[in-house]
Structure 1
Amino acid sequence: MIAIGIVSLAIWLVLVFARHGFWRTRERDTRDLPPLPAHWPAVTAIVPARDEAEVIAESIGSLLAQDYPGEFRVILVDDSSSDGTAEIARRSSGAGRLEILSGQPLPRGWTGKLWAVSQGVEQAGETPEHLWLTDADIAHAPDTLATLVARGEAGDLALVSLMAKLRCTSFAERALIPAFVFFFQLLYPFARVNRPGGIGAAAGGCMLVRREALAAAGGIAAIRGALIDDCAMGAALKRQGPIWLGLTNRSRSIRAYDTADTIAAMISRSAYAQLGYSPLLLVGTLVGLALVYAAPPALTFFGHGWTQACGLAAWALMALAFQPMLRFYHRSALWGVALPGIAAFYAGCTLLSAWQYYRGRGGTWKGRTQANA
């Protein structure tokens, strides 16, 4: 038991003090603001949409309301929607800058979103210097594009990506959503992503891509089958030049995840893909989660002496590391104590993801199964 306590505590000491400060939420679009560019390059926003009637008016409206000094237009790729998504978007104010493209049938080997994005990129042509890839359920503040371009031009970046602030209204969202971003940052520390030579990653809800860098990386076709398409995009573009990823309040998700079931569906869609569909990695991940998150409270309640002390110290470090993200989402600090239980939910979603994959239902989204065993 003492060995488990020592290992668990050592892991949290490494995570807190030697994991690029992933938990500190310092990488934000409001820090280290770049100067405004002398020239504002042309930008085309590309929005893939499939049955997004509930959110498309607000998201497209926020794009058409961008206060951007340069040339800017929006392409909505309607991916066989059956709920009038395109018609709702067409009625948006400022629709003169909006082009609606009817998506072509999905080819074998492509995910639906990436096929829609690819068609939008082709339609944009060679005029724009940057492509703004954004989801149909993301609403942006009017100055979002200008801040993205300013950062991208100042650093000659191949990619600027913002982790859209997720909706956090229902009890399930308040309990589970801040941890989603916390775990993402643990896997892909933003400071390491933004460092030359670091890992590549991105957040798919808001990505400003330099068109020439995307073409040099092989275009969207190079990642056509990726279920975790944003991180695949980040890795591909990192090989073409520096990238930047940060938190923001400017872009926010407007999709509701009102229940634990809907959040579980969102997580399980790609959790097993993160493990490369490997049973061995699945077992290792579950054992690791138990050691990192379950062992500290178990040792605190059932251990004795130094074993109990190690468990309590690890649990305290865990709770403290979660505090900056809880503040970012305006949640009570007491949720930090509950992180082991939240992690157990995510472990269950990972198991669910593997189960769905082996049942031939992996990666299901909007009626499409995109990852089959």
Structure 2
Amino acid sequence: MSTLAWFALGSLVVWVWLLLGQGFFWRTDQRLPAAPRGGPDRWPRVVIVVPARDEAGVLPLSLPSLLAQDYPGVAEVILVDDGSTDGTGTLAVGLAGRYGGLPLTVVSPGEPEAGWTGKLWALRHGMALARAREPEFLLLTDADIAHEPDSLRLLVAAATANGLDLVSQMARLRVASFWERLVVPAFVYFFAQLYPFRWINRRRPLATAAAGGCVLLRTETAVAAGVPEVIRQAVIDDVSLARAVRRAGGRIWLGLAERVDSVRPYQGLGELWRMVARSAYAQLRHSPLLLAGTVAGLAVVYLVPPVALVAGGDAVAAWAGGVAWAVMAGTYGPMLRYYRQPLWLAPLLPFTAFLYLLMTVDSAVRHHRGRGAAWKGRTYARPEATSGR
């Protein structure tokens, strides 16, 4: 057999294993766990903490949805204005005055101290203020996340009924532009492949992760875990948060959202590219060896099948490549349906994977040029290069 045929067969073996042995990551049925219809006998106090930096463009679509929560217990919102220059804090106050609903407090912690990322510095300030209210739960949600009116109630009901310390939902990201349709569902697909939700949600978990846009966290567990201080340098803060909670003995659940949506637009490929590249190399622990292995793995798993099928001249390579490509597209179908996208996008997954490969390499290049993990005007060094408190 040719070298290409061997690579195609290897890719096929990997895809059969991914199909059956990686926690059925491709299925999209991990939704909020069941809870009694009427909810708990006593609804616990909740404080919603929203870190926000230059979010005036999306806040009118997201903040009113939080203020309008129909939560049966006591709840309030703390928005932490993280050094915004676009009037985010003033806009938030105006929105609260216009829409009413839950009480809103807007605060600003000033510039982050050395060794803190901006979002976690904002969360530190907001969580400290929240704990003074003695809530049983904290809802940590990003400023671009819109919640249906029953979102908080359903989150709390699921947590209390199932004894969960952290309940996290992967918000449904916006898919309106061409590049959003091509890149966004694959982003969630790749995340689930790396952190299979079923493995996370087992009583004896095999993986640990969370989705930072929507995290309901039990306050006493956050204190026991030392959050956010123990993860103050984390660029991928949601996964780091989940690991800290699990080390403290907390139970975690992660799934896809039905009532929580991101309203942030990504009009062009450049914006999506920056979103992925800012943290891709950090996910690889800034390791050139892991980078090389990831690039090689993406090439063999995602790029070899279509190349083997269309190259011609080798029946084994074409057969193995075609079957591997079909399995790949089949596993991508459920995520496309979840995002209400046409299934003809499924065969394009190798092209999207190639884009992610380039984004990952670019993330490493940016890091080594001192521009890695850049977000909203801030650039973060790798954790061991920063000075902690």
User: For the superposition of Structure 1 and Structure 2, which TM-score range results when normalised by the shorter chain?
Assistant: over 0.9
Query: Distance in 2 between the 1:5 and 1:32 partners?
Result: 42
Shift of 1:121: 0.5
State the shift of 1:95 in Å.
6.3
The residue matched to 1:371 in structure 2 has which SS? coil
Aligned partners of 1:249 and 1:268: how far apart in 2? 27
Is 1:218 the counterpart of 2:226? The answer is yes
Mapped partners of 1:47, 1:174: distance in 2: 27
Partner Cα distance (1:104, 1:193) in 2? 36
Rounded Cα–Cα distance in structure 1 between residues aligned with 2:102 and 2:50: 16
1:280 is aligned, of 270, 280, 289, to 289
Per-residue Cα deviation, 1:145-195 (whole angstroms, up to 9, x for no partner): 000000100111110001000000011101111100000000110111111
Q: Which moved more, 1:315-324 or 1:94-103?
A: 94-103
Q: Please give the alpha-carbon distance, in whole angstroms, between the structure 1 residues aligned to 2:356 and 2:193.
A: 14
> Secondary structure of the residue that 1:22 maps to in structure 2?
coil
Q: 2:371 aligned with 1:368, yes or no? A: no
Instruction: Tell me how far apart the structure 2 counterparts of residues 7 and 64 of structure 1 sit (CA, whole Å).
Output: 52
Match of 1:160 in 2: 167
The aligned counterpart of 1:322 is: 332
- Residue 65 of structure 2 is matched in structure 1 by 62
Name the SS of the counterpart of 1:110 in structure 2: coil
Contact 2:75 2:102 in 1 (8 A): no
Residue in structure 2 matched with residue 301 of structure 1 by the alignment: 310
Which of 144, 147, 158 is matched with 1:140 structurally? Answer: 147
Q: Does 1:345 align with 2:355?
A: yes
User: In the alignment, is the contact (CA less than 8 A) between 2:24 and 2:196 conserved in 1?
Assistant: yes
* CA-to-aligned-CA distance 1:315-339 (integer Å, 9 cap, x gap): 0000000000000111111111000
Q: Which amino acid aligns with 1:21?
A: F
Superposed CA offset, 1:110-141 (max 9, x none): 10000000100101125100000000011100
Task: Map 1:1-373; keep pairs closer than 5 Å.
Answer: 1=3, 2-29=5-32, 32-35=34-37, 36-92=39-95, 93-94=99-100, 97-126=103-132, 127-198=134-205, 199-239=207-247, 240-303=249-312, 304-371=314-381
Q: Which runs of 5+ in 2 are unaligned?
A: none
Q: Is the 8 A contact 2:227 2:241 kept in 1?
A: no
| Equivalenced residues, count | 372
Q: What displacement does 1:34 show?
A: 4.7
1:200/1:236 contact within 8 Å kept: no
Query: How far off is 1:200 after superposition?
Result: 1.4
Question: Is the partner of 2:373 in helix, strand or coil?
Answer: coil
The AA in structure 2 aligned to 1:97 is P
Alignment partners' CA distance in 1, 2:349 and 2:273: 16
Contact kept? 1:158, 1:238, Cα under 8 Å:
no
1:91 Cα offset (Å): 1.2
Give the 3 Å change call, closer, same or farther, for CA 196–96 of structure 1 in structure 2. Answer: closer
Residues 33 and 155 from structure 1, CA distance in 2 versus in 1: closer, same or farther, beyond 3 angstroms? closer
Distance in 2 (alpha carbons) for counterparts of 1:22 and 1:363:
27
Contact 1:364 1:371 in 2 (8 A): no
Range moving further from structure 2, 222-231 or 95-104? 95-104
**Is the 8 Å Cα contact of residues 308 and 321 (structure 2) preserved in structure 1?**
yes
Q: Distance in 2 between matches of 1:172 and 1:132?
A: 31
Q: What are the superposed Cα offsets for residues 65-113 of structure 1, whole Å, 9 maximum, x if unpaired?
A: 0000001010000111111101111012226600011122211111000
Instruction: Write the distance in 2 (CA, Å) between the matches of 1:179 and 1:125.
Output: 37
- With normalisation by structure 2, the TM-score equals 0.93
Q: Please state whether the residue corresponding to 1:270 is helix, strand or coil.
A: helix
Contact 1:134–1:204 at 8 Å: present in 2 too? yes
> For residues 322 and 158 of structure 1, what CA distance do their matches in structure 2 show?
31
Separation (CA, whole Å) in 2 of partners of 1:4 and 1:292:
9
- Deviation (angstroms), 1:196: 2.0
**SS of the residue 1:202 aligns to:** coil
- 31-40 or 274-283, which deviates more: 31-40
Contact 1:322 1:336 in 2 (8 A): yes
1:187-209 CA deviation, whole Å, 9 max, x = no partner?
Answer: 11011111123221100000000
How far apart are 1:249 and its partner, in Å?
2.4
User: 2:350 & 2:258 partners in 1: Cα distance?
Assistant: 27
